[in-house]
Chain A
């Protein structure tokens, strides 16, 4: 029991707080602070690298662009990134649409199970996922004991990169397509059917044209995600023994080389794999402008691609308006739809689910390998996991505190400023995480107010990276809550802060939690941003990459991945359970 005097004191304190926050001046100051926070801590560091490149352009021109070998290296990595992400975006759309359609419109026995299966790969950190995909599809020279069922036939970088990115992006694409599809009124299709259209024709000619925004969102999702992945690509390519690079891994490698050279004085060529080392300039100091240049290029490419995707979704005409009644009736009824469903799901299982969790088979087969691990291994392992959880928690908490007011500002204050904010919010989301991490690191070392602290930089990079998740989710929740509830509450005498706590929060709470979960899992699985800020900060995914790339300890890497999956699933489970229990008091 809390003593009543204490309770009263608490109440008095609460009242005072309410009065304080209801002061209009405090209110304006508060929003000003939030916007300042966003601009100076999230937006500006994210794109700081662009300013740096402009400033240092003469160096870049003489050192990098003039150097042909170097130029080729950058060009090759970039073209790999772009090719893969464009292919992936197209494949995602082609296969994502039917599966999202089935998930939303069709009722069947295992629907709920399927719904959760699709989300499962999201919990796997991409560093582990890369390894898993390589195990399943790829030729793996470093692994003596190949797991059973492994297909084991792909040797080239490009096809396996495509397969890997399909695994990572497909769940996101299906989920976002399904969410938007659910908003489209079914009665339109029903009306079309009563007018004599077949199911297929109705879906194609009535619902699909309404789906533009969904297509745009899904395209941006898969573009951004496939451009930015670092850890997964590193482990993937290392496992199949390929020395190819993509834009993001180049940044990670260079940063690693630079850091080791600075700290340990080791000739940095030795630290890089041979292929890359031979291409580097003699002076390691030029690595900074070259990384900046690469990051700026990646940001530029990402923005261009996203812009093109938006344009495409807006302008593209629905293919063939002509209706072929006989053919479309035929594929709408009988065995055809069933065959289509089975085909889609078979596809889903083979290309997404099995590759994602293939490393579990590997771990079970080689379970004896646990004995080889020393205490020191376990120490580093424990530290890396704790470090990851710490960074992800701090980033998530910071983002909830700032992101929720930001979301309210965007969703509820309808002025020019909030509309500008609305379009700026997504920038950290589109920028590839390696470029973002590098930019954040560059920004924080360039300023003079805070002492250089790598831990702080890593946390800041993760805050920037995951900020849009919280804000977007909260905005989504807010837009579902009619403002009339808040209007009624205000008019009945509730101050804005009381209205938020008593009326708005109980409803948007779920969206905030969903955003927090996304932000947490994204942060805990992130490799590229961490590596680009500080290669010495061993988070769990960095640890996994290191195990696979440099030590060849595949078993331990797989084990770490599984434990990481368990931790994030547990956290998600606890958070969800807590929320649902509170739902009905």
Chain B
């Protein structure tokens, strides 16, 4: 394997007694667009700031291109950090032009003529050359975002560090700009770390996603891999709409694992053992099943015969339905399961599932993930 472009080894950060980051190891390739996804307070911003050199880690090393970065102050690391503020930390007393040339001017390595032609080019790239003399408070949210991007590009940094760059925009603009940002950065072949807590945003732009929770990296994979094969209960829940069900472990038969929820017996491929340092293993028999809402097959009860000898079937009644445009979310009440099961179906099938319809749910054995976790974890994860 080739040497990674950005490598983080055994990084830890403690604020007093509180662990902000624990045992972080990462290898990121040149030109990759990596999204850091996690709930508020997971340590995303701390990780970014440590890479930028704005916070000193408690221990651990950061390498860029095999060079140790730790001893260098932020200005010598050649990384462009874009903080998480509603105005993108554009300097309020400088106009668009001054903001854009800020970095080359401060570094003072290039003659002014060169800086000028370079920055003209960059402002063209983000379509803001006409507004070069506008001050940040005269610009719209999207424009500010593009100025911030121009400023980062002008810095000619090796790695971009974006902390929730789309946070302050309205939903529509966010969708438009996220692809724009990605395109621009990929065209320049820059390595990017992008922090967000928005699942959709992360899936749509990331080459790879780092899922982080309570200072620990939960999973680092491509979006599809995380969706299909979550390695922990947290990444299963945090990624997409997921049903979490408390179940009991049964005896293993013919190489298949069985679990039980009240009177339902389910076959699962595997039970992932718990390797997190945080949760206590109090009961070996408690497991949690995660099923994505769109991986559940639903059929009206009258269409097929009852297959009593097969596993992974549930009988239930549609109790609520939520229309979401392209999709409809149904809540199905199943006898013996305390909470309703969320099922996503295409809107075209809505007519078949009126409220009160009796339905049969089926989940294929490979679409079900089973984790060895105490049941109390469900409530904890959902509350966060």
The distance in angstroms between the C-alpha atoms of A564 and B52, with both chains bound, is 53
The distance in angstroms between the C-alpha atoms of A282 and B49, with both chains bound, is 71
Given contacts A487-B52, A492-B151, A493-B155, contact A506 B93 (CB under 8 A): yes
User: Is A286 part of the contact surface with B, judged by Cβ < 8 Å?
Assistant: no
Contact A491 B106 (CB under 8 A): no
The distance in angstroms between the C-alpha atoms of A485 and B79, with both chains bound, is 15
Contact B89 A495 (CB under 8 A): no
Stretch of B5-13, B80-88, B221-229 lying at the A interface: B80-88
Given contacts A494-B75, A502-B106, contact A488 B93 (CB under 8 A): no
Given contacts A493-B78, A494-B75, contact A487 B102 (CB under 8 A): no
User: Is A4 part of the contact surface with B, judged by Cβ < 8 Å?
Assistant: no
User: Is A303 part of the contact surface with B, judged by Cβ < 8 Å?
Assistant: no
User: Is A423 part of the contact surface with B, judged by Cβ < 8 Å?
Assistant: no
Residues of A within 8 A of B83 (CB): 484-485, 487-488
User: Is B91 part of the contact surface with A, judged by Cβ < 8 Å?
Assistant: yes
7 residue pairs of the A-B complex, CB under 8 angstroms, read A482-B89, A484-B85, A487-B83, A489-B91, A491-B53, A493-B75, A507-B92
- Would you give the shortest CB distance from B98 to chain A, in whole angstroms? 9
Q: Chain B, interface size: which category?
A: 20 to 34
- Would you give the shortest CB distance from A87 to chain B, in whole angstroms? 44
Q: Which of A485, A493, A498 contacts B91 (CB under 8 A)? A: A485
User: Is A562 part of the contact surface with B, judged by Cβ < 8 Å?
Assistant: no
Given contacts A15-B108, A482-B85, contact A492 B91 (CB under 8 A): no
User: Is B145 part of the contact surface with A, judged by Cβ < 8 Å?
Assistant: no
Contact A492 B155 (CB under 8 A): yes
The distance in angstroms between the C-alpha atoms of A506 and B91, with both chains bound, is 10
Q: Which of A485, A487, A495 contacts B54 (CB under 8 A)? A: A487
User: Is B196 part of the contact surface with A, judged by Cβ < 8 Å?
Assistant: no
Q: Which of A482, A484, A487, A493 contacts B106 (CB under 8 A)? A: A493
Given contacts A506-B93, A507-B93, contact A492 B54 (CB under 8 A): no
Residues of B within 8 A of A503 (CB): 91
Within B71-127, which residues are at the interface with A (CB < 8 Å)? 73-75, 77-85, 89, 91-93, 102-103, 106-108
Contact A494 B106 (CB under 8 A): yes
For the complex with contacts A488-B83, A488-B89, A491-B53, 15 further pairs of A-B residues with Cβ separation under 8 Å are A482-B85, A487-B49, A487-B83, A489-B102, A491-B75, A491-B80, A491-B161, A492-B75, A492-B80, A492-B102, A492-B103, A492-B152, A492-B155, A498-B106, A507-B93
User: Is A549 part of the contact surface with B, judged by Cβ < 8 Å?
Assistant: no
Residues of B within 8 A of A15 (CB): 108
Contact B52 A491 (CB under 8 A): yes
User: Is A310 part of the contact surface with B, judged by Cβ < 8 Å?
Assistant: no
Within A473-512, which residues are at the interface with B (CB < 8 Å)? 482, 484-485, 487-495, 498, 502-503, 506-507
Within A496-530, which residues are at the interface with B (CB < 8 Å)? 498, 502-503, 506-507
- Is the contact region of chain A dominated by helix, strand, or loop, or is it mixed? helix
Residues of A within 8 A of B78 (CB): 493
The distance in angstroms between the C-alpha atoms of A491 and B75, with both chains bound, is 5
The distance in angstroms between the C-alpha atoms of A370 and B160, with both chains bound, is 73
Within B315-366, which residues are at the interface with A (CB < 8 Å)? none
Who on chain A is nearest to B93 by CB? A506
Who on chain A is nearest to B49 by CB? A487
Closest 9 CB pairs of A and B: A484-B83, A491-B81, A492-B103, A494-B106, A490-B74, A488-B89, A506-B93, A493-B107, A484-B89
Contact B91 A490 (CB under 8 A): no
- Would you give the shortest CB distance from A416 to chain B, in whole angstroms? 12
- Would you give the shortest CB distance from B75 to chain A, in whole angstroms? 5
The distance in angstroms between the C-alpha atoms of A498 and B73, with both chains bound, is 14
- Would you give the shortest CB distance from A505 to chain B, in whole angstroms? 9
- Would you give the shortest CB distance from A244 to chain B, in whole angstroms? 54
Within A103-128, which residues are at the interface with B (CB < 8 Å)? none
The distance in angstroms between the C-alpha atoms of A485 and B157, with both chains bound, is 18
- Would you give the shortest CB distance from A565 to chain B, in whole angstroms? 34
Who on chain B is nearest to A481 by CB? B92
Residues of B within 8 A of A492 (CB): 75, 80-81, 102-103, 106, 151-152, 155, 157
Who on chain B is nearest to A506 by CB? B93
Contact B82 A488 (CB under 8 A): yes
Residues of B within 8 A of A507 (CB): 92-93
